Amino acid sequence: MKRALITGVTGQDGLYLSELLLSKGYEVYGLIRGQNNPKAELVRRTVPGVKLLTGDITDLASLIRAFGEAQPDEVYNLGAISFVAYSWENAKLTSDVTGQGVLNVLEATRLYAGDDISKVRFYQASSSEMFGKVQDVPQRETTLLWPRSPYGVAKVFGHYMTINYRESYGMHASSGILFNHESPRRGPEFVTRKVTQAVARISLGLQDSISLGNLDAKRDWGFAGDYVDAMWRMLQQDEADDYVVATGETHSIRELLDVAFSHVGIDDWEGKVVQDPRFFRPAEVDLLIGDPTKARERLDWTPKVGFLELVRMMVESDVAQQKELAGR
């Protein structure tokens, strides 16, 4: 039985990855941060098979302890402060967690492996946010990185550190450059879930409008459940490498609004959307579209859920959740 350690297990990707690994017969350990973390209950309820360990990716000693208990064959570093807008207000904290945190997990992995670096494989959750002011369309593994947010800068550090551990120590360390990936489990601060939750509430007469920022930004949105499978496939390869994980399609926030509103029978949404300067960013990433050719050819990975299906799935889940909350 293989053993896996997941940091960031409380997030949407942590939950989907736990389900995937448990279904493959892994013994799964999840690292939970902080005292009495309110999300621990969510993990226990959603993936009861996961064994929870206490630790923090900013605290190397706690990681060493967690590695000692989990004795992992595979380490998935998903832990991060992941909300881009928040990173301008908390740049130092974001660089400590999302950037330096990667170095801590890599170092804990190296110390745990000791003389036998081949005993453990490492996955780093890199991000398309690293492409920022994009230098190629579509973006691929070789595209120059030009991050536009403190979050993006921190992810670039983690990405290059992962490559450096691979090159310096021969560690099986892979980096998945994941484009935006969403699901009904997505936090409501991200634009897809913010929209689908609001659309559900508007359709039920619980809310009149939604306030948003830039409606013209374009993203390559996929389904998080598909993307965790790509993470796992990376660690099953003979050689570690970097992979773009994306759908190869891009859509604007306006198109997201079109699909979400039309799914509840509202075709003209203009009067229900307010543009609020508070939600504009100091520097925007205007266009993301990934080229997943390498992942398709080497990992035999393709996304199963398309944009329309994804948005409809999220709207339906939010309508059901809002009805339940409203006691209908």
List interacting residues with ligand G4F (CB under 6 A): 82, 84-85, 127-129, 179-180, 189-191, 194, 212-214, 217, 219, 253, 279, 281, 284-285, 288
Q: Is-catalytic flag, 151?
A: yes
Shortest Å, Cβ 2 to ligand G4F: 27
Q: Is-catalytic flag, 74?
A: no
Give whichever of 191 and 234 is closer to ligand G4F, judged by the CB atom.
191
Q: Is-catalytic flag, 284?
A: no
Give whichever of 91 and 217 is closer to ligand G4F, judged by the CB atom.
217
Q: CA 167 to CA 190: how far, in whole Å? A: 35
Query: To which H or E segment does residue 313 belong?
Result: helix 307-325
Q: CA 27 to CA 156: how far, in whole Å? A: 31
Among residues 26, 112, 151, 227, the one annotated as catalytic is 151
Greatest distance between any 2 Cα atoms in the chain: 64
Shortest Å, Cβ 194 to ligand G4F: 5
Give whichever of 59 and 284 is closer to ligand G4F, judged by the CB atom.
284
Q: CA 101 to CA 163: how far, in whole Å? A: 15
Give whichever of 8 and 30 is closer to ligand G4F, judged by the CB atom.
8
Shortest Å, Cβ 168 to ligand G4F: 26
Q: CA 8 to CA 14: how far, in whole Å? A: 6
Question: Taking a C-beta distance cutoff of 8 angstroms, is the pair 313, 184 a contact?
Answer: yes
DSSP code for 129: G
Q: CA 253 to CA 213: how far, in whole Å? A: 9
Among residues 18, 62, 112, 129, the one annotated as catalytic is 129
Give whichever of 27 and 242 is closer to ligand G4F, judged by the CB atom.
242
**CA-CA-CA-CA torsion sign (226, 315, 80, 69):** negative
CB atoms within 10 A of CB 64: 15
Among residues 126, 127, 174, 175, the one annotated as catalytic is 127
Shortest Å, Cβ 187 to ligand G4F: 9
Shortest Å, Cβ 198 to ligand G4F: 10
The structure tokens listed for 35 are 């005292």
Shortest Å, Cβ 262 to ligand G4F: 19
Query: To which H or E segment does residue 166 belong?
Result: helix 150-169
Separation in Å, CA 105 to CA 131, 156, 173, 230? 23, 16, 11, 20
Return the bridge partners of 173, or none.
122
Give whichever of 129 and 242 is closer to ligand G4F, judged by the CB atom.
129
Q: CA 181 to CA 223: how far, in whole Å? A: 5
Active site residues: 127, 129, 151
